[in-house]
Structure 1
Amino acid sequence: MRGRALILVENLSVPLDRRVWQECTALYQTGWEVHVICPRGAKQDTEPEAVIDGVHIHRYPLRAATGGPAGYLREYGSALWHTFRLARRLGTFDVVHGCNPPDLFFLVARAMRGKGTRFVFDQHDLVPELYLSRFGRGEDLLYRAVRRLERMTYRAAHVVIATNESYKQVALSRGGRRPEEVFVVRSAPAVERFRQVPPEEGLRRGKPYLLCYLGVMGPQDGVDYALRSLARLRDEHGRTDWHAVFVGGGDTFDAMVALSRELGLADAVEFTGRIPDEDLLRYLSTADVCLSPDPLNPLNDVSTMNKIMEYMAMGRPIVSFELREARVSAGEAALYAPANDESEFAKLIAQLLDDPDMRRRMGEIGRGRVAGPLSWHHSKAALLAAYDAAVGSR
């Protein structure tokens, strides 16, 4: 056994959180004893304790925040208390691996530091940018508080894991870390999991084309931009030859369903909520164009979108807004509308619907990227190098 690792995550349950689960299994397969503390899921991952593929999972009940920042303060406070409670009874660890948000898990690592534990900070989100993008309150008192917590987390970490080069630059500049302390572990789908299945014409609901959105539905995720773009596709281009499916859930799910009705799209748009992987493969295998409508804001411009990686793994062409890291991920597998321009987004959808050769070519490019330079094989090597650096620093 190479050591004991404790992975802390608050944003999703495990193994639903695919990035965290890939990290867990990679560590276990290379000799680590892996424990995870995370919240319970609503419909899956509901057991308080589980051992899956050798990974020990410890889950706590958590009520997700609603509304403004006060709800998140309650959620994060509860999550931190449960995490401390569970970690205390699990004994000592060589590595505490904290996945943000929130930027609070350094407190757990600090409580264990006297026992020689090393802290690995896995920065899934830039929380200050997330705050600005989600709440639109500017650089107020709470913004300054989350900036301070981020600085404290950087300072406490022995090693930082960044999801892309943009996040690495933040760790070097804002976090004051040295280049040898920061490792880029990109979120990359396991390509063997994203296999093509026969397209199902019934999913198109009698239309020639199927459009697909996959992902979280929060205030910063752009589902509203996608819906308004689809209304423009109908109104400005006279296109009603498509059906659209939105897969996923989140804080704004009900609001987005209501918006689709307000825009007169109720008969053309379907919301599935979260669905099993088998159904996801059915939709993505049938989709003609996939949507990545994340608008330009301080967070989205520098973040890697999991949906883009998964669209590419399924060989689907993508329409995205012009975002720095979206272009790094997708390259020529996507068409890019000017930031937040819904009319141009609709125009690019129409362009792809009319060009099957372009769709096929873009799909092949995307599949090649996630199977090659952006594959999990490279990310796994960086993850293990980060652990070696953390443990070697003792």
Structure 2
Amino acid sequence: MRKKIITSAFSNLYTDQRIEKVCRTLYEAGYEVELIGNDWKGAEEMQRPYPFSRIHLASKSLKTAYFEFNWKLYQELKRKADQNTILHANDVDALYSNYLIAKKLNIPLVFDSHEIFSEMPAVQGKMSQKLWRYVEKTVIPKLEWMMTASGSYAKWFQKKYGVSPVVVQNAPRKLEFDAHIPENNPKILLYQGAINPFRGIDKVIMAMHHLEGVILKIAGDGPRKEEYEDLVSKEKLQQKVQFLGKLKPEDLRKITVTVDCGMSIEENGGESYLYSLPNKVLDCIQARVPLILSNLPEMQNIKSQFDVGEMIKNHQPESIAEAVRKVLDKGRLGYQPELEKASRALCWENEEIKLLKVFQEASNAR
């Protein structure tokens, strides 16, 4: 009998592409999958081929929302899990409840760390950082099955907690490319993702002063959106910078394939950013769009294997503009052979093989 998998995450599930891909792969492999998230920051309608639910959170602050979610998640798991269940926790903010139930029922727990939660900029120097470090230190060394999203993350967890996570990169599914590259005038530079600090967004806005015949499109939402909109007004760059807002993943994909240059110029905002492999890098590669990249380990690693764009020398606006000009001068066509090679290597179809192996091992455990 195929095991039942209960996947849980502190997420409203709607835009979490990693969880969607993981659950779909497990469902298509014949597992009975159930997904649990929450309604923090909205509960948009969505369709999935497996059952899902969102825990209602009454909390007004994120700090209390974490506690409320974990308490309610514990109750849900206690009600739903049995001896035929594999628990699947996504990130440290859903780990402790899963760990307690796994221990109580003596059932397998698979932990997927999308980032280094305790080292994210949002928690640095705060009381919550101590809490998440405590959860990591208490639970992670005892885990038998763990996955994470980049090779650098895996090395960090190994060094810190003596575990050996399986690397399952958050690559998109293969995208068939029709080889049609639009002739954009002006050229389009795209930022896609959360509008958070340390993403280089304010720096690229300033770089627009040094670029002619180029517009910057910013697709996404987040806590810094208003601040960056004000910056665009203050710098009188309204004609050169457009905010597209939060888009459905399928609508974003339609835009990504039409642009001339993508960007992933994260700054070193702590170890979670330093060692990340941002989704946008793999999304652009799959759309056969070259990028400007930060000189961070995972991006260096991709650039050393495939010539998919240009590294920025630093985060000065002039350096960013120089890298964009290099990409635009070479053109999308010039990068196509390398992007094609990279798109075949860096796709979900390759990553899900490793994912299924982890769950097969957990399934075989008694």
TM-score (norm 2): 0.89
Structure 1 residue 272 displacement after superposition: 1.1
Aligned residue identity for 2:122 = R
1:258-283 Cα offsets, whole Å, 9 max, x none, are: 22212221221111112234532342
1:18-76 Cα offsets, whole Å, 9 max, x none, are: 111111111111121111101237676347xx6x22x21111234798xxxxx432231
Alpha-carbon distance in structure 2 between the residues aligned to 1:352 and 1:64: 46
Identity %: 19
Alpha-carbon distance in structure 2 between the residues aligned to 1:143 and 1:188: 28
Aligned residue identity for 1:228 = M
1:144-165 Cα offsets, whole Å, 9 max, x none, are: 3322221123034221102121
Aligned residue identity for 1:258 = D
Q: How does 1:15-54 map to 2 (within 5 A)?
A: 16-40=15-39, 45-46=44-45, 52-53=48-49
Residues 172 and 136 (structure 1), Cα distance of their counterparts in 2 relative to 1, 3 Å cut: closer
Structure 1 residue 294 displacement after superposition: 1.1
Query: Is the contact between residue 284 and residue 291 of structure 2 (CA under 8 Å) also seen in structure 1?
Result: yes
1:308-342 Cα offsets, whole Å, 9 max, x none, are: 00001100010012111122235420211124333
Which residue does the alignment assign to 2:224?
252
Which residue does the alignment assign to 2:280?
307
Q: Secondary structure at the match of 2:289?
A: coil
* Stretches of structure 2 lacking an aligned partner (at least 5 in a row): none
Which residue does the alignment assign to 1:323?
296
Aligned residue identity for 2:315 = N
Aligned residue identity for 2:131 = A
Aligned residue identity for 1:59 = R
Runs of 4+ with deviation above 6 angstroms: 197-201
Residues 213 and 160 (structure 1), Cα distance of their counterparts in 2 relative to 1, 3 Å cut: same
2:86 is aligned with 1:95: yes
Residues 248 and 141 (structure 1), Cα distance of their counterparts in 2 relative to 1, 3 Å cut: closer
Alpha-carbon distance in structure 1 between the residues aligned to 2:262 and 2:19: 24
Alpha-carbon distance in structure 2 between the residues aligned to 1:210 and 1:249: 19
Q: How does 1:154-165 map to 2 (within 5 A)?
A: 154-165=140-151
Q: Aligned match of 1:214 in 187, 192, 196?
A: 192
Q: Secondary structure at the match of 1:355?
A: helix
Alpha-carbon distance in structure 2 between the residues aligned to 1:165 and 1:364: 25
Which residue does the alignment assign to 1:10?
10
Aligned residue identity for 1:9 = A
Structure 1 residue 169 displacement after superposition: 1.1
1:124-176 Cα offsets, whole Å, 9 max, x none, are: 1102221xx33553xx6543332222112303422110212111112221111
Q: Secondary structure at the match of 2:257?
A: helix
Which residue does the alignment assign to 2:308?
333
Query: Is the contact between residue 3 and residue 33 of structure 1 (CA under 8 Å) also seen in structure 2?
Result: yes
2:356 is aligned with 1:380: no
* Stretches of structure 1 lacking an aligned partner (at least 5 in a row): 66-70, 234-238
Which residue does the alignment assign to 1:143?
129
Alpha-carbon distance in structure 2 between the residues aligned to 1:45 and 1:229: 35
Alpha-carbon distance in structure 2 between the residues aligned to 1:195 and 1:101: 37
Alpha-carbon distance in structure 1 between the residues aligned to 2:253 and 2:181: 9
Q: Aligned match of 1:109 in 74, 99, 103?
A: 99
Q: Secondary structure at the match of 1:290?
A: strand
Aligned residue identity for 1:134 = A
Query: Is the contact between residue 98 and residue 105 of structure 1 (CA under 8 Å) also seen in structure 2?
Result: yes
Q: Secondary structure at the match of 1:95?
A: strand
The CA RMSD measured in Å over matched residues stands at: 2.6
Aligned residue identity for 2:313 = P
Alpha-carbon distance in structure 2 between the residues aligned to 1:197 and 1:364: 11
Q: Aligned match of 1:187 in 162, 165, 170?
A: 170
Which residue does the alignment assign to 1:236?
none
Query: Is the contact between residue 248 and residue 272 of structure 1 (CA under 8 Å) also seen in structure 2?
Result: yes
Q: Secondary structure at the match of 1:225?
A: helix
Residues 257 and 198 (structure 1), Cα distance of their counterparts in 2 relative to 1, 3 Å cut: farther
Structure 1 residue 228 displacement after superposition: 2.1
Residues 185 and 100 (structure 1), Cα distance of their counterparts in 2 relative to 1, 3 Å cut: same
Residues 354 and 197 (structure 1), Cα distance of their counterparts in 2 relative to 1, 3 Å cut: closer
Query: Is the contact between residue 7 and residue 97 of structure 1 (CA under 8 Å) also seen in structure 2?
Result: yes
Q: Aligned match of 1:360 in 323, 328, 333?
A: 333
2:60 is aligned with 1:61: no
Residues 118 and 135 (structure 1), Cα distance of their counterparts in 2 relative to 1, 3 Å cut: closer
Alpha-carbon distance in structure 1 between the residues aligned to 2:214 and 2:223: 27
Structure 1 residue 240 displacement after superposition: 2.8
Q: Secondary structure at the match of 2:154?
A: helix
